[in-house]
């Protein structure tokens, strides 16, 4: 039995899922190719992921390929009730609703685990860590899992290093066709979608502070610059800081940036990026948002201690007034702004990420050799296949090596590979 809040919203959910499905040709192509053989027949798949239209379409594809699915949300604010309702109507078990409390969130994860999964898709590792902590009795039957995001992989690698991980986990995030496109272009676009639709304010001419110049930060900074903002980057890694400098951004410590920024976006995967000493320096009217996986990048507990909550001037904006009269605005409760206050990444981007998830699950099922109980990479062939399918779907073709070029590139003797030279 499912537990959701608004079953009456199912028709709207179906509409949204159908719309994105038309823009996810790679995943659709994989579904068409593999569904006749039903590779996941008889397997239980537990999924913990931002529950919106694109993930729902992925769930449907797995269902079409034989899997018995149980789904929960990976973030209290990213679940869309209409989508949950549509999935339930499609025969998928769902435990999720928008705005769950911490207890409800944990309960939904517990129920999603309780089915006894053979396969797992996680986003942030909450499901996998809960399974290890609370249901050791179910670990042995898990063939393997796939993890969607950077933060989840950090946690899972720590588990593996401690000898604690009980099954193989495929690092889908670390495939090129994931982080190059999803983290960079997906986050780059959807973060600004979230900020702009939430605030309805202009970006051009503003000073935007991007914390963390990783894959997500690069995208967020590039799109901010494209919208006409002056971009400041804060970093702890000198190589990434240098890269940001060469890209033309100003780089400085957060304490300096705090006094200059009009809009802040944290994308570090670390905690307390904007904390007590920074709050003291913020300009009146500064807008704070986070794009990292957990709501720990802006120290909200301290913000609430230092400043009085002044209500919500608009949906998803909380105003806080400091004793000296300055007011700052927190978007989406400090949770990932692109999912808490928008629809997440564009469908064409998630087409790549979820095609990789599909191939990761196929790899776990088809692989005959036992895989190590470690965080492992998806075979490079998966990246190649997904990229090729995507560019073909875009009507683009590329060159291939001639026989002479192949010989040239595979020989260390220049005269053999290039006889007339």
Ligand X SMILES: NC(=O)c1ccc[n+]([C@@H]2O[C@H](COP(=O)([O-])OP(=O)(O)OC[C@H]3O[C@@H](n4cnc5c(N)ncnc54)[C@H](O)[C@@H]3O)[C@@H](O)[C@H]2O)c1
Nearer to ligand X, 61 or 350 (CB): 350
Q: Are strands 317-322 and 327-331 parallel, antiparallel or unpaired?
A: antiparallel
317-322, strands of its sheet edge to edge: 250-251, 230-234, 207-211, 263-266, 287-290, 327-331, 317-322, 307-309
Task: Choose between 4 and 336: whose C-beta lies nearer to ligand X.
Answer: 336
Q: Report, in Å, the least distance between residue 113 CB and ligand X.
A: 21
> At its nearest, how many Å lie between ligand X and the CB of residue 121?
15
The residue ranges that bind ligand X (CB under 6 A) are 149-151, 179, 183, 187, 211-217, 234-237, 240, 267-270, 273, 291-293, 336, 338
Specify the residue, 294 or 322, whose C-beta has the smaller distance to ligand X.
294
* Residue 64 host element (H or E): helix 53-64
Q: Within 10 A of 139 (CB to CB), how many other CB atoms are there?
A: 14
For the chain, the straight-line distance linking the first and the last C-alpha, in angstroms and rounded, comes to 72
CA-based nearest residue to 113, from 102, 98, 100, 125: 125
* 93 in Cβ contact with 84 (< 8 Å): no
Of the pair 2, 151, the CB lying nearest ligand X is at 151
> Least distance (Å) from ligand X to the CB of residue 269?
3
Shortest separation between residue 2's beta carbon and ligand X, angstroms: 26
Cβ proximity to ligand X: between 179 and 249 the closer is 179
**Between 68 and 343, whose beta carbon lies closer to ligand X?**
343
Minimum CB distance to ligand X, residue 129 (Å):
15
**Which CB sits closer to ligand X, 216 or 386?**
216
- 65-68: which pairs have CB atoms within 8 A and are 24 or more residues apart? 65/31, 65/34, 65/35, 65/38, 65/39, 65/40, 66/35, 66/38, 66/39, 66/40, 66/41, 66/42, 67/40, 67/41, 67/43, 67/119, 67/361, 68/42, 68/43, 68/44, 68/115
- Rounded to the nearest whole angstrom, what is the least distance from the CB of residue 270 to ligand X in the complex? 3
Q: Directed axis angle between helix 53-64 and helix 81-89, to 10°? A: 10
> What token pair was written down for 334?
């400090």
Residue 2 or 266 with smaller CB distance to ligand X: 266
CB 122 to ligand X: min, Å: 12
User: What residues contact residue 394 under an 8 Å CB cut-off, 6+ apart?
Assistant: none
94/96 Cα distance (integer angstroms)? 6
* Residue of closest CB approach to ligand X: 214
What's the closest the beta carbon of residue 169 comes to ligand X, in angstroms?
A: 15
């Amino acid at each position: 039995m499912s537990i959701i809040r608004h079953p009456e919203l199912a028709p709207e959910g179906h509409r949204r899922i159908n719309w994105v499905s038309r823009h996810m040709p790679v995943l659709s192509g994989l579904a068409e190719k593999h569904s006749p053989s039903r590779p996941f027949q008889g397997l239980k798949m537990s999924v913990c992921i931002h529950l919106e239209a694109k993930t729902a379409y992925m769930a449907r594809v797995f269902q079409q390929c034989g899997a018995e699915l149980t789904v929960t949300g990976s973030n209290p604010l990213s679940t869309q009730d209409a989508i949950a309702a549509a999935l339930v109507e499609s025969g998928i078990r769902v435990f999720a609703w928008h705005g769950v409390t911490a207890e409800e969130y944990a309960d939904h994860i517990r129920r999603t685990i309780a089915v006894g999964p053979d396969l797992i898709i996680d986003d942030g590792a909450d499901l996998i860590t809960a399974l290890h902590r609370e249901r050791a009795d179910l670990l042995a039957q898990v063939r393997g899992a796939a993890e969607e995001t950077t933060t989840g992989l950090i946690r899972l690698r720590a588990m593996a290093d401690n000898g604690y991980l009980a099954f193989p986990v495929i690092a889908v995030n670390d495939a090129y066709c994931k982080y190059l496109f999803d983290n960079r272009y997906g986050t780059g676009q959807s973060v600004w979608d979230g900020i702009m639709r939430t605030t309805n304010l202009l970006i051009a001419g503003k000073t935007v502070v991007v914390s963390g110049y990783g894959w997500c930060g690069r995208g967020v900074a590039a799109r901010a610059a494209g919208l006409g903002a002056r971009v400041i980057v804060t970093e702890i890694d000198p190589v990434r800081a240098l890269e940001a400098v060469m890209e033309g951004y100003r780089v400085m410590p957060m304490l300096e940036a705090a006094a200059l920024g009009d809009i802040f976006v944290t994308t570090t995967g670390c905690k307390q990026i904007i904390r007590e000493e920074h709050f003291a320096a913020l300009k009146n009217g500064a807008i704070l948002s986070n794009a990292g996986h957990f709501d720990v990048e802006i120290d909200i507990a301290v913000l609430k201690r230092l400043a009085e909550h002044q209500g919500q001037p608009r949906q998803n904006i909380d105003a806080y007034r400091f004793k000296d009269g300055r007011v700052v605005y927190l978007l989406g409760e400090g949770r990932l702004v692109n999912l808490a206050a928008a629809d997440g990444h564009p469908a064409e981007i998630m087409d790549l990420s979820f095609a990789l998830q599909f191939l990761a699950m196929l790899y776990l099922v088809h692989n005959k050799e036992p895989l190590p109980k470690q965080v492992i990479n998806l075979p490079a062939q998966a990246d190649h296949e997904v990229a090729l399918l995507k560019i073909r779907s875009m009507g683009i073709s590329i060159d291939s090596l001639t026989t002479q070029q192949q010989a040239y590139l595979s020989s260390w003797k220049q005269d053999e590979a290039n006889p007339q030279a």
